[in-house]
Structure 1
Amino acid sequence: MAENADPRGLDAQGFIAREGSLGRVPHAFRPVVAAARDRLLDTFGARLHSAYLYGSIPRGTVRVGRSDLDLLVALHQEPTETDRSEARAIDKTLDKDFPQIDGGGTLLVSRAQALSDLETYDLGWFIACLCTPLLGEDLAEYLPRYRPDSLLARETNGDLALFLPRWRDRIAATADTDEARRPLVRFMSRHLVRTAFTLVMPRWNGWTSDLREMAEVFAEYYPSRAEQLRTAAILGHEPTGDPAVLRSYVDDLGPWLAVEYARVHGVKAPRP
């Protein structure tokens, strides 16, 4: 967050301040970031337009041995299956070589996609506000500034209803063990907390990436669902493998949130 940002993540003009910086990367994770930079360059070379860090590492809130490494890479052309396979290989190698991190993932996009009109208030906002430049030309220079308004809420998380059937399929296909379910609980918990927060974000008029703060902000406006969100925020950091949690997400909290989101902000513009 910029030094002139207020406690609600806004700059002096009321726009969402870009969070994170390379200067906030803790010392223990600097070798990880350096290795990621080198491997992205070695792998993608001239195909690479730019690369970014996001998540807890550039925010300085990372936990040794418990947080993952999140990267976004913009290529000059649309990513191919070969590109995606190579990105997965980078993720796997970094996770193996550095015990500081617990997994990671590299998102691949094209420059054209990131700067498209359709993605201005979703992927574009994500890059401009939540990503820290690591390599190449910063795409944020070509993107607008963003306020925490209903348009941003709709275009970032107004598609939850589309995810719920897929989530049910993933749950059904997951092995019946705590270990297998734990990553799903973590992922879905985080997704639901962030969606619940952006539901109320315009009324709160601010931005945060802290899951527990998100849950507390939501609780101000929907007290009847407050405990569910507080629990989900905890599970986003410390997931269990309880199947009842997953069922509650796809049978209760998720459907309610999808309907309320559409009522308040409308539905996200459809993607191809």
Structure 2
Amino acid sequence: MNSTNRQRSIKCPTRLGTDEDGYVINQTSIRHIQPEFETVLFKAIELVKEAFGEQLHSIYLYGSIGRGTAVAGQSDLDLTVLVHEDVDATELVEQTERLLTEHPEVIKIDYDIGRLDAALDPANRFEWGFWLRHLCTCVDGEDVSTQFPRMKPDARVSEALDQDLVSSIEAAKSKLLRGQMSHLEKRSIVKRVIRGWYLTINVKDESFATTVDECLEILRLYYPEDQQVVQGKTFLIQNDISNQQLLDYLNDVDWM
């Protein structure tokens, strides 16, 4: 089914990404990892283990590689790392830059590093608890995701996932004004904005979209005439985004 027909067939609420009982489906799994990404994933895990040693508790994969939808040469490798105490990631970042020169199948490697005690704190169940249980799969160490209950779309989860959006947008504006933002960074903030906007309506939509294309598709259902939706999609397929274009786009964000 082409995208146009799909847009016409789905209705609000879409309930995309949830099961028949309304719980969010974790679409990541070790079984979904495509063969072309296995080597770089293994090497990244080894780098983390070498960098953090006994302070390391566990490593989790999320994102397109975990869902089995990654595209070689276009996708990121995304890892969440739990440690016992605060760690210095300087050496890990330096070693990762070297690894990327050997493995062009991924364009960057992101590490979300957090402390185990913070992840297990009941006060963080709508942030860490949801993240580990529904968006990650354990690839090394003790899997703590099973300690959290299944969840349905929840405003507290959406707020937790969106909590740094304003600061991310402001930081992007500052870099744009200085002319210091790469095309990769521009695409990243556009995706962040689209995702953040979607998270303001996902509870109403009873859904949890996992890709930016899904977020855009649902946003078009609720805001069919909004140019922010159209512009966001256009940016994602452009080979180049001018600083002024993106600055105007970010300044026009009015839904937060």
Question: Is TM > 0.5 for Structure 1 vs Structure 2?
Answer: yes
1:181–1:243 contact (8 Å) kept in structure 2? no
Partners of 1:89 and 1:162 in 2: how far apart?
A: 26
Q: From the superposition, tell whether residues 48 and 67 of structure 1 become closer, same or farther in structure 2 (CA, over 3 Å).
A: same
Does the residue aligned with 1:122 lie in a helix, a strand or coil? helix
- The equivalent of 1:242 in structure 2 is 242
Pair 1:141-2:146 in alignment: yes
Q: Deviations over 1:203-227 (max 9, x none)?
A: 21111212112111012112232x4
1:18 to 17, 21, 26: 26
Q: Alignment identity in percent?
A: 24
1:185–1:239 contact (8 Å) kept in structure 2? no
2:62–2:135 contact (8 Å) kept in structure 1? yes
Q: From the superposition, tell whether residues 235 and 139 of structure 1 become closer, same or farther in structure 2 (CA, over 3 Å).
A: farther
Pair 1:39-2:47 in alignment: yes
Partners of 1:59 and 1:187 in 2: how far apart?
A: 19
1:50–1:73 contact (8 Å) kept in structure 2? yes
Q: CA deviation at 1:104?
A: 1.6
1:148–1:206 contact (8 Å) kept in structure 2? yes
Does the residue aligned with 1:257 lie in a helix, a strand or coil? coil
Partners of 1:160 and 1:28 in 2: how far apart?
A: 32
Q: Deviations over 1:83-102 (max 9, x none)?
A: 22123124213212212111
In structure 2, give the amino acid aligned to 1:202.
V
- The equivalent of 1:186 in structure 2 is 187
- The equivalent of 1:28 in structure 2 is 36
Pair 1:69-2:77 in alignment: yes
Q: From the superposition, tell whether residues 89 and 159 of structure 1 become closer, same or farther in structure 2 (CA, over 3 Å).
A: closer
In structure 1, give the amino acid aligned to 2:109.
G
Q: Deviations over 1:113-161 (max 9, x none)?
A: 2223443212332222111211111221222322112222222215534
Q: CA deviation at 1:109?
A: 1.0
Does the residue aligned with 2:202 lie in a helix, a strand or coil? helix
2:157 to 152, 157, 179: 152
In structure 1, give the amino acid aligned to 2:98.
T
Does the residue aligned with 2:198 lie in a helix, a strand or coil? helix
Counting matched residue pairs gives: 243
Normalising by structure 1, we get a TM-score of 0.81
Partners of 1:257 and 1:37 in 2: how far apart?
A: 38
- Could you list the runs of 5+ residues in structure 2 that have no partner in the other structure? 1-13
Q: CA deviation at 1:237?
A: 6.3
In structure 2, give the amino acid aligned to 1:144.
P
Does the residue aligned with 1:64 lie in a helix, a strand or coil? coil
Normalising by structure 2, we get a TM-score of 0.85
2:47–2:96 contact (8 Å) kept in structure 1? no
Q: CA deviation at 1:189?
A: 0.6
Q: Let me know the Cα RMSD of the aligned residues.
A: 2.2
2:162–2:199 contact (8 Å) kept in structure 1? yes
In structure 2, give the amino acid aligned to 1:102.
I
Q: From the superposition, tell whether residues 118 and 244 of structure 1 become closer, same or farther in structure 2 (CA, over 3 Å).
A: farther
Q: From the superposition, tell whether residues 121 and 32 of structure 1 become closer, same or farther in structure 2 (CA, over 3 Å).
A: same
